Copies of this chain bind each other. A is one copy, B any other.
Amino acid sequence: MSDEWFYETHKDALRFGLKIDRVLLDQQSPYQRVQVFETPLFGRVLALDELLMTSERDEYNYHELLVHPALCTAPRVARVLVIGGGDGGTVRELMRYPEVVQVVMVEIDGLVVEASKEFLPSIGTAWDDPRLQLIIGDGIAYVQEADVEPFDVILLDGSDPVGPAEGLFGEAFYRGCERLLAPEGVFAQQSESPELFREIFGDVVRMTRKVFGNAHPYFGPVPLYPSGYWSFTFASRTVDPMAVIDARAERVEQHTRRWDRPLHGAMFVVPKDLRAAIAE
Residues of A within 8 A of B (CB): 5, 7, 11-19, 39-41, 58, 60, 195-196, 219, 221, 223, 227-229, 256-260, 262-263, 265-267, 269, 271-273
Closest to A195 in B: B223
Distance of A270 from chain B, by nearest CB (Å): 8
Pick from A13, A257, A260 the residue with the most CB of B within 10 Å: A13
A89 to chain B, nearest CB (A): 16
- Taken together as a complex, chains A and B put the C-alpha atoms of A15 and B17 apart, in Å, by 5
Q: Are B13 and A40 touching (Cβ within 8 A)? A: yes
In the bound complex, how far is the Cα of B12 from the Cα of A227, in angstroms? 19
**6 chain-A/chain-B pairs, Cβ below 8 angstroms:** A12-B19, A14-B16, A14-B18, A60-B273, A228-B229, A265-B269
**Distance from A256 Cβ to chain B, minimum over Cβ atoms (Å):** 7
User: Are A41 and B18 within 8 A (Cβ)?
Assistant: no
Please give me the residue from chain B that is nearest to A57 by CB atom.
B195
Distance of A11 Cα from B41 Cα, bound (Å): 8
Residues of chain B with a CB closer than 8 A to A269's CB: 262-263, 265-266
- The distance in angstroms between the C-alpha atoms of A15 and B266, with both chains bound, is 30
Contact of A221 among B7, B11, B18, B195 (CB under 8 A): B195
* Bound complex: CA A247 to CA B265 (Å): 25
> Do B272 and A257 touch (CB < 8 A)?
yes
| A195 CB contacts on chain B under 8 angstroms | 58, 221, 223, 228
Nearest residue (CB) in B for A12 is B19
- A7→B17 CA distance, assembly (Å): 9
- Add 13 more A-B contacts to A17-B17, A257-B272, A262-B269 (CB < 8 A): A11-B41, A13-B18, A13-B19, A13-B40, A14-B16, A14-B19, A15-B15, A60-B273, A196-B223, A219-B221, A221-B228, A260-B272, A263-B272
